[in-house]
Amino acid sequence: MESLSMNEVPVEPDRAMTDEQLISMLVNRARSEGLQLTGEGGLLQQLTKRVLESALEGEITDHLGYDRHDPAGKNSGNSRNGTRSKTVVTDVGPVEVRVPRDVAGTFEPQLVRKRQRRLSGVDEMVLSLSAKGLTHGEISAHLAEVYGANVSKQTISTITDKVMDGMAEWQNRPLDRVYPVLFVDAINVKIRDGHVANRPIYLAMAVTVDGHRDILGIWAGDGGEGAKHWLAVLTELKNRGVDDVLMLVCDGLKGLPQAVETVWPRTIVQTCVIHLLRNSFRYAARQDWDKIARALKPVYTAPTEEAALERFYEFCETWGRKYPAIVRLWETSWAEFVPFLAFDVEIRKVICSTNAIESVNARIRKAVRARGHFPNETAALKCVFMALMSLDPTGQGRKRWTMRWKAPLNAFQIAFEGRLTPANL
C-alpha cells in the first residue's frame, strides 16, 4: 500500500486551520491509507523528519543570510552545497535526515550537530531507565524493541558516565548554615571487587528551615567505619557551610555520635525509632510482630522519659523471657533513644516519621535490586545518584512537606531558641 508522502502536506496550511485540525487531517489520512502512526516509516517518524529538515534549512538560511534561490545570495562568497544524509536516533525511532551543507564548509548545525547520532530526548530516556535500575543490556533491548533504535551498550555507558560530572558538582555544592534535622542512613549494595560483597552506601538527608528535604551527599563505605570515617564526612559537610545541626537522627552507626560531638558539639544525636522497631522484629517470630509493635508503642509515645521507662519495664515483664535480645537491644540504645521525649509532639513527628527518609530508601533499593550487583564502587554510586535525581519529578512531595512544616518550625524555634536565627527564616 502506498504510504502517505509528507511532501503532499502543505508547509503553510490555511491560516484558518487550527493545529488540532491539521493534526486530525494528517492522522485520518494516514489511517485511511493504511499508514502506521508509530514504528518504522510511520507518521510520527515522517513528521519528525520533516520538522528536523525544516529546522536545519532555517539554520543554514540564518548562517548564509539569504533564502534558497534568493538573488541576494549571488556572488555572496558562500552558498548552499547540497545535503548529506545521516540517521539519528530519536524518541520515535531512527530517522534519516538530510543535513544541508555550504560551499565554504563553515556551516555548523546546532539542532543535529556534526557527528551527533542521538537527539537529547534519547539521552534523557536512557538516564531515566538507568535510574530505575535497568542494566545497559536491558536498556539497549528496550530501545530496540519499542523504538527500533540500535543503541549499543557502550553508547549507553557513555551517556550515563556523563552523570558523574554532575554528581561531583552536586556533591561539592554549598549548603545551608543550619539544618533543624539531619538524617544519616545506609543502603547495602553488592559490589564485585575481586568477589561480590555487601558494601554500604551512606546518605545524609536534611530537613531545611523551609521544610524541604535535601540530600546533602552520598558516600561509599567499606564496612569498617568508625569515628575517624564519620569525622571526615561531617567535616566535609561543615566545610561546605553547615555550621549547626539541631538534631541528627541515625541507626546506631558506629563512631557517629563521637564524630558529631567533635564537629557540632550542641547537636542532639537521636536513634531512629523506626529503625529500632525494625531491628526488634528481627528477633521475633512473624506472628508476634503486631503484638510487639503494640507493646512498644507506649514506650516511644510516652510523654516523658520516666513514663517511657515504666512502659518499657511492662514490656520486659511480658516479652523479656521469650525475646531477651529485644530487651537487650533497647537497653543498649536507650541513651540515644530518649532525647526526643523531651520535645514537643511536632518535633517528635519529624524525627519518628518514616516519610522523611524511607521513601528515599525505597526508591534507591528498587534501583539497586534491579541491577543485582555492580562491577565497582563508582558504578554503585552512579546508580544511587541517578535514583536520587529522579525523586519527586512532579514536585508534589516537596509541596506536601512544605505545607506541613509550619508547626514543627515553630516548635524547633522555641526548643532551640537563638539557633534558628531570623536570617534563616
Block means of pLDDT (10 residues each) for the chain, 425 residues, are 46 50 61 61 64 71 79 76 76 72 80 63 64 70 64 69 77 93 88 82 90 89 78 93 93 84 93 88 94 94 93 95 95 90 87 68 81 82 82 61 80 88 53
Identify the pLDDT of residue 223: 65
Distance CA 238, CA 264 (A): 9
Distance CA 61, CA 50 (A): 16
Pairing of strands 80-90, 93-102: antiparallel
Identify the pLDDT of residue 174: 94
Strands in 194-267 per DSSP E:
195-207, 213-220, 244-250
pTM exceeds 0.75 for this model: no
Pairing of strands 244-250, 178-193: parallel
Identify the pLDDT of residue 22: 55
Distance CA 24, CA 36 (A): 14
Three-class SS of residue 156? helix
Distance CA 42, CA 30 (A): 9
Identify the pLDDT of residue 398: 60
Report the amino acid identity of residue 72: A
The owner of cell 491539521 is 22
Identify the pLDDT of residue 7: 47
Identify the pLDDT of residue 11: 46
